[in-house]
Amino acid sequence: MNTAVLVVDADSHVVRCNDAAAAILGRAPEALHGSSAGAWFVDVRGQAVVERTLAEGVRFKGAEAMVDRVGGGAVPVGISCAPILGPGGRVRGAVATFQDLSEMHQLRQQVLQTEKMASIGQLAAGVAHEINNPMGFIHANLFQLAEYAGDLRQLWGEVEQLQKVVSQAGSPEVREAAARLATLAEEVDVDFLLSDLAKAIRESQEGSERIRHIVQDLRDFSHQDNGELSLADVNQCLDSTANIVWPMMKHLVQLEKNYADLPAVTCYPMQLKQVFMNLLVNAFQAIESKLGASAETGHIVLRTEHHGADVVISVADTGVGIAAGDLDRIFDPFFTTKKVGAGTGLGLSTSYNIVQRHGGRIEADSQAGEGTCFRVVLPVDGIGDDA
């Protein structure tokens, strides 16, 4: 049977077990004989299932519990348990069946993530659209303001000249007016005002430029149709993207490329390049923040492989790595550990969406302080039929 089966006696000691049970618990079948069933459950719920079956003669259908696998940590299982009744209805033991739910848990996690992405994608598209219009005129006005400030500065230069001339000549009224102007100019500190005005406008322009980028990222994140569906050489997509970012990282990074022969993949090449770009930039930033100002260099390894119906692209770095607690949040929109200005937290969520749209998946392995490896698995013709 695929399902694990355990038979215990009235004292909860195992009298029989099948290979599936031994496999889930990570022990040899002989090692299980005579051991106490309650001992493998790491949670009280699991312990109670067998105990109450024996004590009360009740049946349990499909409870979720965690069991302890030797060398493998806790494994989620779905367990059912029923009493074995002897003469007079006395409980002589129990039979428990269970299945390993790890894979199902993972799938459930993926479904949740997909759902979350879909709704956040819609939200993001709406917000981006709303922000885009007012940003348009803020941006345009700031541009105008910068010009006006330049004009004012020029004008003020002329006014100062004029002031000099009239303060020495002209009627008393004119001289008096010139003196008032001079006093006021000193009070408001016109030179400072003009230079600070220009600076404030320049900074606002930078800020609005940044908002425009974020909005653009948000739109990319939620956009379905970005580029043309075609048969593409994934090695070439990866390589050309690496070439674009290479100048930025060459002082810090040694890049290794291991490309396998790949079949042409049905995909949106522009979108895939965006994914590779995000992974490469993240890898570089991780190395940058690990090495800081030291004179060392880091490594990035690009690898492509062909496994059956899939191609696998991996980007591995020797950067700071990802804390275990962050690993399941890195694909969340806006999750970032970078300082303001360095990261928007949209790179991986966008990549996740794009890969999902291609019928593939993206995974990360990381060791904090050691490095990180991202793997993108793409079906060779995953979206061929959709198209």
| Selected binder of Mg ion within 12, 271, 274, 282 (CB under 5 A) | 282
> What whole-number distance in Å separates Cα of residue 194 and Cα of residue 186?
13
Beta bridge partners of 16: 7
Q: Which is nearer to ligand ADP, 274 or 278 (CB)?
A: 278
Q: Which is nearer to ligand ADP, 43 or 365 (CB)?
A: 365
> What whole-number distance in Å separates Cα of residue 185 and Cα of residue 178?
10
The answer to whether residues 265 and 218 touch, using CB atoms and an 8 Å cutoff, is: no
Q: Which is nearer to Mg ion, 176 or 363 (CB)?
A: 363
The answer to whether residues 75 and 102 touch, using CB atoms and an 8 Å cutoff, is: yes
> What whole-number distance in Å separates Cα of residue 238 and Cα of residue 333?
24
> What whole-number distance in Å separates Cα of residue 378 and Cα of residue 316?
17
Interface stretch with ligand ADP, choices 53-61, 162-170, 295-303, 340-348 (CB under 6 A): 340-348
**Residue 278 binding ligand ADP, by CB under 6 A:** yes
How far is Cα of residue 257 from the mean position of the Cα atoms in its chain?
24
Q: Out of ligand ADP, Mg ion, none, which partner does residue 382 contact, by CB within 5 to 8 A per kind?
A: none
In the block, tokens 């010009």 appear at: 147
Q: Out of Mg ion, ligand ADP, none, which partner does residue 121 contact, by CB within 5 to 8 A per kind?
A: none
Per the rule left: phi > 0, alpha: psi between -120 and 50, beta: everything else, 345 is left
Q: Among candidates 19, 10, 8, which has minimal Cα distance to 41?
A: 8
**Residue 47 binding ligand ADP, by CB under 6 A:** no
Instruction: Identify the sign of the CA torsion 172, 176, 181, 183.
Output: positive
Residue 258 phi, psi dihedral angles, 5° rounding: -125, 90
Q: Out of Mg ion, ligand ADP, none, which partner does residue 322 contact, by CB within 5 to 8 A per kind?
A: ligand ADP
Q: Among candidates 12, 54, 20, which has minimal Cα distance to 37?
A: 12
3-state SS, residue 214: helix
What is the identity of the amino acid at 264? A
- The token pair at 24 is 């889930």
Interface stretch with Mg ion, choices 10-18, 147-155, 251-259, 344-352 (CB under 5 A): 344-352
Interface stretch with Mg ion, choices 8-16, 32-40, 113-121, 278-286 (CB under 5 A): 278-286
Q: Which is nearer to Mg ion, 97 or 278 (CB)?
A: 278
Site string for Mg ion, 232-271 (x = CB under 5 A): ----------------------------------------
Site for ligand ADP in 301-330 (CB under 6 A): 317, 319-322, 330
Q: Least distance (Å) from ligand ADP to the CB of residue 105? A: 23
Q: Least distance (Å) from ligand ADP to the CB of residue 377? A: 17
Site string for ligand ADP, 346-375 (x = CB under 6 A): xxxx----------------------x---
**Residue 351 binding Mg ion, by CB under 5 A:** no
Binding site for ligand ADP (CB under 6 A): 278, 282-283, 286, 317, 319-322, 330, 335-338, 343-349, 372
Binding site for Mg ion (CB under 5 A): 282, 347
